[in-house]
Amino acid sequence: DIQMTQSPSSLSASVGDRVTITCRASQSISSYLHWYQQTLGKAPKLLIYDATSLQSGVPSRFSGNESGTDFTLTISSLQLGDFATYYCQQSYKTPPTFGGGTKVELK
Amino acid sequence: EVQLVQSGGGLVQPGGSLRLSCAASGFSVSSNHMNWVRQTPDKGLEWVAIIYSGGSTVYADPAKGRFIISRDTSKNTLFLQINSLRAEDTAVYYCASGNGLYRFDSWGQGTLLTVSS
């Protein structure tokens, strides 16, 4: 199975901060990488698909980038509703696999 | 509007069986690839199974042999049957679908399955 490694596992930030989360795949996954946001007690929500494409309805402060097997999710200016846990997921090969998550907390 | 509404789950004894349901609206379960994903504090998010739009199915290794994914097109509903339940099946189970294979645009609200005596 393809392993997805996220870092950091948690971070503390303030409203207005720029936040970057990294996800590394254990092998090449082309651009088949998606990012999700999950708040407590809710289902994950798709933010970014195919590494860089913004899902409809998602604010433009969210962006994705890729470099080889390294992928990043950036929140340009953190808002109150952005304090959540973020997951990456590869869809390149069966089984699809998720990263361990990055919890973004209020400093 | 695409919506997935789940039912089922609860507390079940080891060795028992359970069927989870996921009623879709806004699209047809037979025209999309439909998935089940589960989440535990220990293992995080874990894909369980898929039923392709064509009807074929694929399972994650831990789900092979005891899990059955199916759909009822007349009810526009997805199911997950789990037999011989074990403590390690305890999780929040989500149904999920989307545009493209293994891209999860839409999720059900989740249902908690607890396997315990």
Question: Cβ–Cβ of A94/B108 closer than 8 Å?
Answer: no
Per-residue pLDDT, B98: 87
Residues of chain A positioned with their CB less than 8 A from the CB of B44:
87, 98-101
Mean per-residue pLDDT over chain B, rounded:
97
Write out the two tokens for B86. 């074990």
**Chain-centre distance of CA A21, in angstroms?**
6
Interfacial B residues in 33-72 facing A (CB < 8 Å)? 44-47, 58, 60-61
Give which of B25, B44, B14, B39 is closest to B97, Cα–Cα: B25
Residues of chain B positioned with their CB less than 8 A from the CB of A33:
none
Closest CB from B47, B94, B103 relative to A49: B103
Question: Cβ–Cβ of B103/A91 closer than 8 Å?
Answer: yes
The count of residues in chain A is 107
**HEC readout, B46-66:** EEEEEECCCCCEEECHHHCCC
Residues contacting residue B21 through CB under 8 Å, at least 6 positions apart: B6, B7, B8, B77, B78, B79
- Taking only the tens place, the pLDDT of each residue in B54-88 is 999 999 999 999 999 999 999 999 999 999 999 99
- Taking only the tens place, the pLDDT of each residue in A3-58 is 999 999 999 999 999 999 999 999 999 999 999 999 999 999 999 999 999 999 99
Residues A23 and A99 sit within 8 Å (Cβ to Cβ) = yes
> A105: helix, coil or strand?
strand
Residues of chain A positioned with their CB less than 8 A from the CB of B100:
49, 91
Q: Residue B99: pLDDT band by 50, 70, 90 thresholds?
A: confident
Residues B11 and B116 sit within 8 Å (Cβ to Cβ) = yes
Mean local confidence (pLDDT), B31-37: 96
Which of A4, A5, A34 to substitute to test the interface with B, most B CBs within 10 Å? A34
H or E, element range at B80: strand B77-82
Q: Residue B12: pLDDT band by 50, 70, 90 thresholds?
A: very high
Chain A: closest CA distance from residue B15 (Å): 26
Per-residue pLDDT, B100: 85
Peptide bond into B41 cis (omega under 30): no
Residues of chain A positioned with their CB less than 8 A from the CB of B34:
none
Chain A: closest CA distance from residue B11 (Å): 18
Per-residue pLDDT, A35: 98
Write out the two tokens for A99. 């990263």
